[in-house]
Amino acid sequence: MMVRKAHLALAGLALMVANVAVPAVAQTPMSGPSTIVPGPTPVTQALGLPAAVSVTPQTMVADLEAPWGLAFLPNGDLLVTELLGKLRYVKAGTNWSLEAEEIKGVPTVTAAGQGGLMDVTLHPNFSRNKLIYLSFSVGDEAANRTRIVRAKLEGRALTDVQTIFEVTPAKSRFQHFGSRFTWLPDQTLLISIGDGGNPPNSLDGSFIRNQAQNLGSHLGKIVRIKDDGSIPKDNPFVNTPGARPEIYSYGHRNSQGLARDPVSGRIYATEHGSQGGDELNLIQSGQNYGWPKVTYAVEYGAARTPITPNQSGSGLVDPLAVWSPAIAPSGLAVVRSSKYRGWDGDLLAGGLRLDQGRGALIRVDLDKAGKVLGQERIDLGDVRVRDVRQGPDGYIYVLTTAMRNFRDKGQRNGQLVRLLPAT
């Protein structure tokens, strides 16, 4: 088992623990420990990272409305989800274009708070079976959850839409849905599920975030299912009494970046901390990533009360990197391309907000063993980075939205951006 170890060595950078309040909801500061037992992973202040000069952004498509996730089709075209409930078709080629009409047959979603139509992915055998998968939120303020459906893409419409997974239990408020996909070589599907929200949001008499340590709940987990929604027999908790058999790993807060390296086979996830303490993790079957027992994060509110005195613990997996102030991670890609000099095997982590004015991409430089060697910041302007993927042409594509009013209906300020290597 991997225990919490330090994997970050950043020469010449000032590494410090600093926290900026980015509250999702107003909360009352709570009492807690006055001292922190430092963890082994140094903390990176993203705004202090060097800015990359090796790439320039090129806008391929504009006029997207709160885009959230993207998937490349075999012909190079794209599917893009919009948080308010639309699945869009983007034509690639000499002149990229967003088709005016959305794809028909998408189920009704609950678009509220952090919820809506979220990730999209293609079945590994899509060219043969035409199957796609969507994640979205359903329910109301009192009881809502993440749902996963499988459907056939026939032209510009979905047919044979089937629900293959739903999160149990339901939760209140529209926070922390997680909801990233990644496929494993055996054609099983990993899905990240958020912990349910911030205090004072509660379940069964305690803060709902404690569900991340409850194996009888999907909340705060990464789950693994077969392509039809059935449960793999080799899942780590299949034979654990009282555990949800879909669970692959646990102790997560809200993972909105999830990616597998096709060369090394390593699985990486980025997850939101609370007012800082965002993490990059190496995901392993059956392991506990600590939330909220151990964390670099603090409670929302001016007091910045520590959630726990512990940033590390026996039997708990350490993050590869920690970011404070928050980058609000969303979208994650492993670069396996010769287009970008020195980037092969590195990670690109999207950030919704590095400060009050912009998000960015963070390039995490990894060696062949997966050790973090350094980081740099890729600024894209006054935008939130929602998703990042490598296209079949080897280029990196990024979904962005405006910093302000990005959820408001009619705000068509989302873009699909391609990163071009600087000459």
Strands 247-250 and 255-260: unpaired
> Are 158 and 151 in contact, with CB atoms under 8 Å apart?
yes
Q: How far is CA 202 from CA 195, 219, 296, 319, in A?
A: 11, 12, 21, 26
Q: Which two tokens stand for residue 82?
A: 């919009």
In angstroms, the CA 260 to CA 215 distance is 24
CA–CA dist 388, 350 (Å, integer)? 7
> How far is it, in rounded angstroms, from Cα 270 to Cα 350?
9
327 within 8 A of 349, measured Cβ to Cβ: yes
Could you list the beta-strand ranges (E) of 111-229: 117-122, 131-139, 144-154, 157-166, 181-183, 188-193, 202-203, 206-207, 221-226
3-state SS class at 213? helix
Active site residue 176: yes
Measured between alpha carbons, how far is 96 from 89 in angstroms, rounded to an integer?
Answer: 11
Task: Quote the CA–CA distance of 156 and 247 in Å, as a whole number.
Answer: 34
Query: Which value, to the nearest 10 degrees, does the dihedral of the CA atoms of residues 210, 276, 264, 417 take?
Result: 120
Greatest Cα pair distance, the chain, in angstroms, is 59
- The one catalytic residue in 7, 123, 176, 272 is 176
DSSP letter (8 states) at residue 212: G
Q: Which residues of 170-203 are buried (b: 16+ CB within 10 A; e: fewer)?
A: bbbbbbbbbbbbbbeeeebbbbbbbbbbbbebeb
Q: Which residues are catalytic?
A: 176
